[in-house]
Chains A and B, each alone.
Chain A
Amino acid sequence: MEKKTQMKEKQRIISIRMKLLAIIVPIVILLMVAMVLVAYNTSAEIIENYSKNLLESSVKNQSFHIEGWLNENIEAFQAVKTALENIRPEGEQLQGILDTYYNYNSNYPQGVYIADEDGKMYKASESSLNEPDPLNSTWYQEGLTRVNMAVGSAYVNAQGENVISASGILNDGSGRTKVISADMTLDRISIIVNGFMEMKDAESFLVDGRDGTILANRDNTLISTRIGSDSGNTFQKQVGEKIAGRDYEFSVLDGNMTVFEKVSGTDWILVSYVPKHVVMADLARLRTIMILISAVSILILCLVIERVTHIVINPVKKLTKVIAAMTDGDFTVEVTSKGNDEIAVMSRSVEQFIRSMKRMIASMGDISGRLGTQADASDTMSRQMQSAASIQSESMGELNSTVDQLSLSVYEIAENATKLAGVVADTKEDSDNVEHKMQETVEVSQKGRQDMERVGKELESIKASIHNLETAVGKVGTASGEIVAIVQLIGNIAEETNLLSLNASIEAARAGEAGRGFAVVASEIGTLANTSADSVEHISTLIQQVSELVKDAVRQTGESAEDIGRSSVLIQEAIDTFEKIFENIQETSEMIGHMVSKINEVDEVAANVAAISQEQAASSDEILATSENMLEQAKGIAQNSASAADESRSLTASSEELAEQVKLFRI
């Protein structure tokens, strides 16, 4: 354990140096990297700008040179042309002039030559030119489009050479159209073009802006081809696109810084380029040197930091050893303090600290001895106290259980009383209800009695009506007897009339013809008499029936009258019965009234009892709570005294340990 701590301390001391290195070195590296980056980028920008300017001025000068060279040649051609136009030579004189210019200038070794509208060629006699069809040649066709000689487009002549011709109409007043021309080879133009270059490592080529034909290029195979036709060459392709788009701004194409310059007076475009990596080659060297210097500086810095911290930290190390010994309890160590810097002050302070610690530890030894004795005494005391507290706690426990039982009993009483009060209260409610119902019953029976009495009265009036009916029916019987007698009389009369008619008929027959009318009357009367007799008989029968019906009615009425009479008696009895019931109910109601008032009294008493017993229960609860508290406290006292005993025991142990610890210090 101790060794581990020591190790840790040692590691920590080393880490101060490490910390310094860990903080300073990354910052320095970062600064160096930033410096290198900034320097590199700035240089790159400067170099790139410088190169761009150089390239631009180079291409401009080159273009001027080309223009000058071209103009020089064209002016020479133009001079020949003007001379021919003024002199208007014919035949040998013309041939002589043309011969003069053969090999006169290396730029156009074949000299000048002429073709007329009939296709006739005039050329130097030594000239190797052999134009099979001058009229359809490029130089002739182009020459027709101008008077002043100017260069046209590149083409392959009959000899298979890539050439470009300067041609124009020869206005010699002959009335025949003639074209004068001179050829320059593209190979020569290439050499001239690249010979005018001013910037080292730069290359250039000349392109005809009209159709993109390469007129001059260091690589001869590309001459007279369309720019960008070789799909493998990205740079040429991009240049071709730029030229086709007439975008002649500086740009970096396929890693080449490229500038474009129009050659004045022609459609030619001079393209000059330098690979960026060539321009930047020096820069790469600069970068390497800067990185090297940075790395060396960082290394030296690390070493310096390491040494400086070592020297600074050395006295601290010594002091650390002293402090480590002190940590182990060894105060016998010596501290040497030289100088007057912060570390010397620290050493002196540590020296003083050791002295005062020695004194303190000595007195601590004494104190721990005394503390041990005191702790023993308090241990005994607390043991005694603990046993007393235990006894008290037991007694309190018993008291508590007794109070608990008491409390339970009181609770039961209270509960019962409360139940009783509840029952009584219910009963009171029920009896109140009964009283109320009773009151209703009294009212209903009173109404019933009144109704019954009304029924009795009604029955009386029915009886009187029936009696009147009886009298009326009796009168009908008498009247019908009289009717029977009258009908019989009529019957008799009809019989007599019939007899009379018979007689009259007989008499009439006797009277013969004179009595014939009478006979008719007699028979009519006879018929009438018969009819009357029939009617009488019919009426008799009807009256007989009426009479019987009346008799029935009388009998039935009689029966009704009797029934009503009986009902009347029964109703009277019912009324009487009702009277009795009413009286009984009245009495019952009164009795119930009494009962209710009694129940009310009981209710109050029961409520009182319940309240009182509840109060008692509450009181017994309080007693119980109090006794429980007391029990708790008693237990607490017992526990406290137990822990006091424990603590005084541990105090004893502590004081013993303290004594031992103090013994560890070497003073």
Chain B
Amino acid sequence: MKKITGLLLAMVMMFSLWGCAGSGGNTAGGGNVKIYLSLSSSDTFRTVLVNRAKETAEELGAVLEVHEAEESIEVQVAQIKNAVEEGFDVIMCSPVDTDTTLELEAIAGDVPIVFFNSCPDDSCLEPDKYMYVGSDEGVAGQYQAEYILENMSGKEEINVAILTGPPGHSATEGRTGQLKNTLNDSGKKINYVFQDQADWDQGRAEEYFNIFLSTGRAFDVAVCNNDAMALGVIDACKKNGVTEPVILGIDATADGCAAIIAGDMAFTVYQSATGQGEAAVKAAIALGAGGSVKGQEGLSEDGKYVWVPFEKVDSSNVEKYQ
């Protein structure tokens, strides 16, 4: 009996030691962690994000190399292969196409990947191994819905026109889905008088909204998945002489903010590129050092995501985001 107890005790101790060793790597300092960043392509948002990532890596003493994949999945796959061969500790990746996620993970092998900017399917993510750092797209849609419900609390029936990004895109699905869910759950009668995909494009949004206006149907609010489409809606309304339309966007771009100041747009949501860059590098350093992101701000319950919060922008605080 004593022998058995002793044996059990020894086993427990061994396991706990092993456990301690396993979790010992989670430190704030990024000493000597080599990060390989594969960027799908540069745009304003991603440039700000990557610049902030570089700064953060430097501050924390990590090495960060940035490579652009020029929107080519072949280039991106080659980049990941290089990263593994050159002995990088961790990869940061904004996927060209999220459908290639499994392939990227297979090539990376034991090297952990921190995805950003475009969110892979949930089933492809694993805590402390394949993680996504970004903003929860659903929250942006939810903020838009909350703005509508707050400002139209007197109405029992709201006519909503929606312009979305391309179908299947995580931002389109997340933003539109949560917008509709929040509105539908309000108990009010919501009529979706128009909903079409303008693929983030200002011109197309204007064209579609012109067509919509030509049908003569009334709308209370026009909600767009991004600011560019919102600006297209503004143009259409101006040309058709619609007075004081309520138009909502997302991204808080410079033009979007200007539209808010001009009184053309009511509300937008700011996605923090610097916040995402910083959080992504921190997560990469933690994983690259063989540790865990446990305790990092914004970590989701299932441990697969690090969420960087959105911020609401309207006429009262727009100056901050110009």
Q: Are B194 and A146 in contact (CB under 8 A)?
A: yes
Chain B residues near A177 (CB, 8 Å)? Answer: 214-216
- In the assembled complex, the Cα of A156 lies from the Cα of B237 at a distance in Å of 36
Chain A residues near B215 (CB, 8 Å)? Answer: 144, 169, 177
Is A171 at the interface (CB under 8 A from chain B)? yes
In chain A, residues 201-244, which have Cβ atoms closer than 8 Å to a Cβ of chain B?
A: none
* Chain A proximity mask over B168-200: 1 for CB below 8 Å, otherwise 0: 100001000000010000000000111111000
* Chain B proximity mask over A61-94: 1 for CB below 8 Å, otherwise 0: 0000000000000000000000000000000000
- In the assembled complex, the Cα of A501 lies from the Cα of B34 at a distance in Å of 182
- In the assembled complex, the Cα of A144 lies from the Cα of B167 at a distance in Å of 19
Is B211 at the interface (CB under 8 A from chain A)? yes
Write the chain B residue with the least CB distance to A177.
B215
Is B3 at the interface (CB under 8 A from chain A)? no
Q: Are A264 and B194 in contact (CB under 8 A)?
A: no
Chain A residues near B217 (CB, 8 Å)? Answer: 144
Is B208 at the interface (CB under 8 A from chain A)? yes
Q: Provide 9 A-B residue pairs closer than 8 Å at the C-beta atoms, listed in order of the A residue.
A: A144-B217, A145-B192, A145-B194, A146-B195, A169-B215, A171-B211, A177-B214, A177-B216, A246-B181
In chain A, residues 589-614, which have Cβ atoms closer than 8 Å to a Cβ of chain B?
A: none
Q: Are A145 and B195 in contact (CB under 8 A)?
A: yes
In chain A, residues 141-174, which have Cβ atoms closer than 8 Å to a Cβ of chain B?
A: 144-148, 150, 169, 171
Chain A residues near B212 (CB, 8 Å)? Answer: 147, 169
Chain B residues near A148 (CB, 8 Å)? Answer: 196-197
Write the chain A residue with the least CB distance to B162.
A145
A-to-B contact residues, CB < 8 Å: 144-148, 150, 169, 171, 177, 246, 264-265
- In the assembled complex, the Cα of A188 lies from the Cα of B212 at a distance in Å of 32
Q: A169-B215, A177-B215 are in contact. Are A147 and B196 (CB under 8 A)?
A: yes
Whole-angstrom distance from the CB of A325 to the nearest CB of chain B?
Answer: 46
Q: Are A147 and B208 in contact (CB under 8 A)?
A: yes
In chain B, residues 200-218, which have Cβ atoms closer than 8 Å to a Cβ of chain A?
A: 207-208, 211-212, 214-217
Chain B residues near A265 (CB, 8 Å)? Answer: 167-168
Whole-angstrom distance from the CB of A77 to the nearest CB of chain B?
Answer: 15
Q: Are A146 and B168 in contact (CB under 8 A)?
A: no
- Interface residue SS majority, chain A: loop
Q: Are B168 and A264 in contact (CB under 8 A)?
A: yes
Whole-angstrom distance from the CB of B222 to the nearest CB of chain A?
Answer: 13
Whole-angstrom distance from the CB of A223 to the nearest CB of chain B?
Answer: 24
Chain A residues near B214 (CB, 8 Å)? Answer: 177
Chain A residues near B196 (CB, 8 Å)? Answer: 145-148, 150
- In the assembled complex, the Cα of A150 lies from the Cα of B196 at a distance in Å of 9
User: How many residues on the B side are at the interface (Cβ–Cβ under 8 A)?
Assistant: 18
- In the assembled complex, the Cα of A246 lies from the Cα of B180 at a distance in Å of 12
Whole-angstrom distance from the CB of A445 to the nearest CB of chain B?
Answer: 107
Q: A145-B194, A171-B211, A246-B181 are in contact. List 9 more A-B contacts (CB 8 A).
A: A144-B217, A145-B193, A145-B196, A146-B195, A147-B196, A147-B212, A148-B197, A169-B212, A169-B215
Chain A residues near B216 (CB, 8 Å)? Answer: 177
- In the assembled complex, the Cα of A146 lies from the Cα of B212 at a distance in Å of 8
Q: A146-B194, A246-B181 are in contact. Are A169 and B211 (CB under 8 A)?
A: yes
Write the chain A residue with the least CB distance to B210.
A171
* Chain A proximity mask over B74-103: 1 for CB below 8 Å, otherwise 0: 000000000000000000000000000000
- In the assembled complex, the Cα of A264 lies from the Cα of B177 at a distance in Å of 12
Write the chain B residue with the least CB distance to A71.
B167
- In the assembled complex, the Cα of A146 lies from the Cα of B195 at a distance in Å of 6
Chain A residues near B173 (CB, 8 Å)? Answer: 264
Q: Are B167 and A264 in contact (CB under 8 A)?
A: yes
Chain A residues near B197 (CB, 8 Å)? Answer: 148
- In the assembled complex, the Cα of A435 lies from the Cα of B195 at a distance in Å of 142
- In the assembled complex, the Cα of A623 lies from the Cα of B184 at a distance in Å of 123
- In the assembled complex, the Cα of A150 lies from the Cα of B193 at a distance in Å of 14
Whole-angstrom distance from the CB of B142 to the nearest CB of chain A?
Answer: 13
* Chain A proximity mask over B219-248: 1 for CB below 8 Å, otherwise 0: 000000000000000000000000000000
Whole-angstrom distance from the CB of B313 to the nearest CB of chain A?
Answer: 28
- Of the listed residues A146, A150, A264, A265, the one surrounded by the most CB atoms of chain B closer than 10 A to its CB is A146
Chain A residues near B194 (CB, 8 Å)? Answer: 145-146
Query: What 6 pairs between A and B have smallest CB-CB spacing?
Result: A265-B167, A146-B196, A147-B208, A264-B168, A145-B194, A177-B215
Whole-angstrom distance from the CB of A608 to the nearest CB of chain B?
Answer: 84
Whole-angstrom distance from the CB of A88 to the nearest CB of chain B?
Answer: 15
Chain A residues near B181 (CB, 8 Å)? Answer: 246
- In the assembled complex, the Cα of A147 lies from the Cα of B232 at a distance in Å of 15
Chain B residues near A145 (CB, 8 Å)? Answer: 192-196
- In the assembled complex, the Cα of A177 lies from the Cα of B197 at a distance in Å of 20
Whole-angstrom distance from the CB of B236 to the nearest CB of chain A?
Answer: 12
- In the assembled complex, the Cα of A150 lies from the Cα of B208 at a distance in Å of 15
Write the chain A residue with the least CB distance to B199.
A148
Whole-angstrom distance from the CB of A240 to the nearest CB of chain B?
Answer: 16
Chain A residues near B193 (CB, 8 Å)? Answer: 145
Write the chain A residue with the least CB distance to B184.
A210
- Of the listed residues A147, A150, A177, A265, the one surrounded by the most CB atoms of chain B closer than 10 A to its CB is A147
Write the chain B residue with the least CB distance to A246.
B181
Whole-angstrom distance from the CB of A136 to the nearest CB of chain B?
Answer: 14
- In the assembled complex, the Cα of A144 lies from the Cα of B195 at a distance in Å of 10
- In the assembled complex, the Cα of A531 lies from the Cα of B75 at a distance in Å of 183
- In the assembled complex, the Cα of A246 lies from the Cα of B195 at a distance in Å of 21
- In the assembled complex, the Cα of A246 lies from the Cα of B197 at a distance in Å of 23
Whole-angstrom distance from the CB of A332 to the nearest CB of chain B?
Answer: 52
- In the assembled complex, the Cα of A144 lies from the Cα of B197 at a distance in Å of 14
Q: Are B211 and A147 in contact (CB under 8 A)?
A: yes
- In the assembled complex, the Cα of A264 lies from the Cα of B208 at a distance in Å of 22
- In the assembled complex, the Cα of A145 lies from the Cα of B160 at a distance in Å of 10
Write the chain A residue with the least CB distance to B173.
A264
Chain B residues near A147 (CB, 8 Å)? Answer: 196, 207-208, 211-212
Whole-angstrom distance from the CB of A70 to the nearest CB of chain B?
Answer: 11
Chain B residues near A264 (CB, 8 Å)? Answer: 167-168, 173
Whole-angstrom distance from the CB of A181 to the nearest CB of chain B?
Answer: 15
Whole-angstrom distance from the CB of A502 to the nearest CB of chain B?
Answer: 154
- In the assembled complex, the Cα of A177 lies from the Cα of B212 at a distance in Å of 10
Whole-angstrom distance from the CB of A513 to the nearest CB of chain B?
Answer: 154
Whole-angstrom distance from the CB of A219 to the nearest CB of chain B?
Answer: 29
- In the assembled complex, the Cα of A92 lies from the Cα of B45 at a distance in Å of 52
- In the assembled complex, the Cα of A150 lies from the Cα of B195 at a distance in Å of 10
